[in-house]
Structure 1
Amino acid sequence: MRRPASWTAVALGTAAGFLVGVLFVVALGIGEAQEAPPPRTVTVLSRVQAPTGDETVVTKTAVPDVVGERLDVAHERLERAGFMVKEEEGGFFGSIVDSNWEVVEQDPAAGIALERGSTVQIKLDRR
């Protein structure tokens, strides 16, 4: 006659299964790290009349083109330009290692002028 499993055996089996699952997810998410391209700096000079206090000043910035960029580079460029980033897809557990994901679409498109603080939506795919 077979004896029922003890709680210790069940707990150890569950913990081992969980550990194997975590290791599997980490193994899928870790790839070869690639070096990020050097950042580009662009200086734009403009002449803006100083506000008199009666009007509202809205600063708009062109959305950078991040299609084809690694996720970590795209986040940095969009946030440096003053935008919030919303990711679509990125796998079942999300984008665990940003350098393993690539931006395949963005909304709004590159070059569209948006107010700083606006959200740019990016769609991801594995590299």
Structure 2
Amino acid sequence: MKLGDSLGRSRRRRKKPGASEAEPAGDAAPQGEQGEQGADSKPSTADGDDIFAPRPSLGSETKESRGWGALGKLRVRDLALVAVGLALLGWVVGYGIATRIVFPAPPPPGDLFEVPDLRGLGVASAGERLAGAGLQLGSVDSLQHPSVATGLVLGQSPLPGQVSPPDQPVNVTVSAGPQMRSIPDVRRLDRERARVVLETSGFVVDIDTAEAEEPRGRVIDLVPPPDSVVALPAEVRLVVSTGPPVVTMPLVLGLEQAEAEMLLDSLGLVVTDVEEVFRFGRDQGIVVEQQPAADTELERGSSVQLKVGRRGLGREQ
């Protein structure tokens, strides 16, 4: 038996699923023809496949699977790039919406003019100066000021030297003059109460003193006089009593009694008591003690006691 016949029979025994039934052996070609065919061509299977044709190896299948894995990695990378691109596109679109619709940029400024200094001008003069600078006068407010004359500009907005568009008005504040107030009568009040009343009314208080019959510490006069209308802040001087006039007790020791009494009377002091005390020698009729002591400050009319030297027993007069 030839090699081709044996291979053909073995091939027919293990037919592939779904393959058609082989023809009966009786229909096979004569051996002579088979031998000639086997001599001229390579052996083949019943379905015409070459039994010596190379089959796909296991290595080729592994390479093919590796190719699919690389393709999957490329697809993941592409998807990541697409996601990043979409995120950037969303940010750009959101930024555009925010800057143009939600928070639009202000329109570019037009002509700007420097604001002139209006302080010290009247309202009419201020309006003319603004018109000459290409600007317009806005609201006019008033404020009392102690030193700026009524009707003159105290302040302005915008400030001098700043720039402003022509459609933005310049607002000014003019002086309403000083605040006027009447001086309250605080005479017969003590110094501290009078000070509180005047300072609460907006005055600046100064204190002066003078001797008077009124009790010490009582207000006896005001300068300017009470009920005078003055501009605030104004200074008011209080004249406060230091009490009745005081004198300094002189030293009358060593003077004769009559001479001492004359001196004390000239100072407004009254000798109310003269006591005689025993003394030797030249102290006869001489003041040897006095009360109060010398240099004591006394009000006029205060009493003074003297002691005068006499020979013999002392006696009061």
TM-score (norm 1): 0.48
Q: Which has the larger radius of gyration?
A: 2
TM-score (norm 2): 0.21
